Chains A and B, each alone.
Chain A
Amino acid sequence: MPLQVKRLLLVFAIFIGIMLVLKYVLTPDSWREYGPYRGNAIGEIASQQAKYVQKESCADCHDSIAEIKSRGEHINLQCEICHGPGYQHVDDENFKMEITKNSTLCLQCHTMNAASPKNIIKQIDATEHNEGEECITCHNPHQPWL
């Protein structure tokens, strides 16, 4: 084998060697556990904190309200749609939940809009139906129609 080819092969071997060392050092631990990505990332995403605790947790303490709600039209609604996420309140009861009295919140769902299916939701035109009044003066949001 000519000398220059031998030298070239040596250079190649050194280069490949360096690449292998770099690959060993730089590849994260769980790489290719499931595919060409860091397998540990899945666990890291899963460990994030959940903010909405869901209505079963609310009913643990607020059972009387849960009972009233279970007899009304809003039975399937999550408490936290109106009251906001409950994770801080669950840990510390001094952290108060939102209690929104103004009708903008109600109208988010119940405002008249041609695109909302009529058979799914009761809609009202807030400019005709007791304009400026708060909905909750007449309707109990936990049991709107009974």
Chain B
Amino acid sequence: MAIEKENFSRRDFIKNSSMFAGGVVFASLINPYKFVFATKQPKGKGKWYGIGIDIEKCIGCGSCARACKIENNVPDDPFFFRNWVEQYTITNDERILVSSPNGGIDGFKQPVPEEDIYKTFFVPKMCNHCAKSPCTQVCPVGASFESPEGLALVDQSYCIGCGYCVQACPYGCRYIDPVKGVVDKCTLCYHRLEKGLDPACMMACPTGARIYGDLNDKNSAVSLFLKEHNCAVLKPQLNTESKLFYNDLSQEVH
């Protein structure tokens, strides 16, 4: 007994495929049912926060990391940070050493003797408040979100502590709070901004290496910083549209 095959004509095939493709295009036009939600930069009015870090000015004092821990009740353990400082050392024989003992809070030691150093500098790190943040897109319950002002925030009363976002952040900027069991991260000290104060880390930086402001305002501190310096973001190849801009960022930093 022969197996019966349904025969499709070429005409049917083309008709069905173009109907399917048309359906997909139509579905993608229906705006409220977009699969991926990303907050858009408000044009004209409305704030859109950005951050600048001037590596040329950072002295590695760790005041920023200390102030952040105090201001935001971050646990003392040396592996919970909303911000931390890394010391990069590139030796004459082309080794790249990165150290961040306790996030730089207790200061740094340079293990390499000065004559062997090709280049060395500090890189302070914190949340990049990405415009296309992978962390908010993976949240299964909508507890991680990007506010209309472009800040990646966590609704801690809604977070279920699953840790997807911790894994999704390519910059390692999130941790699970060991007491509350929910995710915690940099908020750009939103509670301070709303009270007219500067974020704790920016306030504490003695050399003014940390800058923040409204990217929509062309005269804000961060816009002027971007205008006057040649800035780069971390991991641009990941298309996260990071809004943390570094001046004098070496290629070795990742």
Contacts and interface: CB of A to CB of B under 8 A. Distances in A.
Interface of A: 28, 31, 34-38, 41-42, 44-54, 76-78, 80-81, 84-85, 107-109, 111, 113-117, 120-121
B153 A114 contact: no
Q: Give the residue among B62, B67, B190 with the most A Cβ atoms within 10 A.
A: B67
A37 B142 contact: yes
B219 interface: no
B59 A114 contact: no
Contact of B59 (A31, A37, A109): A109
B68 to A, nearest CB: 10
Contact of B147 (A34, A52, A109): A34
A80 B200 CA distance: 10
Interface of B: 37, 39, 56-63, 67, 70-71, 87-89, 107-110, 114, 117, 120-122, 142-148, 153, 155, 157-158, 187, 189-192, 194-195, 197-198, 200, 203-204, 206-208
Given A52-B71, A114-B117, A80 B204 contact: yes
B57 A81 contact: no
Nearest to A55: B203
Of A31, A51, A53, A76, the most chain B CB neighbours within 10 A belong to: A51
Contacts of A52: 67, 70-71, 192, 197, 200, 203-204
A117 B56 contact: yes
A53 to B, nearest CB: 8
B28 to A, nearest CB: 18
Closest 9 pairs between A and B when the two form their complex, measured CB to CB: A37-B145, A41-B155, A48-B191, A115-B120, A46-B194, A116-B59, A109-B61, A37-B142, A121-B59
B147 A54 contact: no
A36 B207 contact: no
Given A42-B153, A50-B71, A114 B37 contact: no
Given A38-B158, A41-B158, A46-B190, 7 more contacts: A41-B153, A52-B197, A81-B206, A114-B110, A114-B117, A115-B89, A120-B207
A121 B207 contact: yes
Given A37-B142, A114-B110, A120 B204 contact: no
A48 B70 CA distance: 13
Nearest to B57: A120
A61 to B, nearest CB: 18
A83 B171 CA distance: 32
Contacts of A116: 59-60, 122
B114 A108 contact: no
B62 A108 contact: yes
B207 A115 contact: no
A114 B121 CA distance: 8
15 contacts: A36-B142, A37-B142, A41-B157, A42-B190, A44-B157, A48-B191, A77-B206, A78-B203, A80-B204, A81-B63, A81-B204, A108-B61, A114-B117, A115-B121, A116-B122
B120 A76 contact: no
Contacts of B56: 117, 120
Nearest to B122: A115
A113 B87 CA distance: 10
Contacts of A50: 71, 189, 191-192, 195, 197
Nearest to A104: B107
Contacts of B70: 51-52, 84-85
A114 B122 CA distance: 10
B108 A45 contact: no
Nearest to A123: B59
A80 B71 CA distance: 11
A36 B145 contact: yes
Contacts of A115: 60, 87-89, 108, 110, 120-122
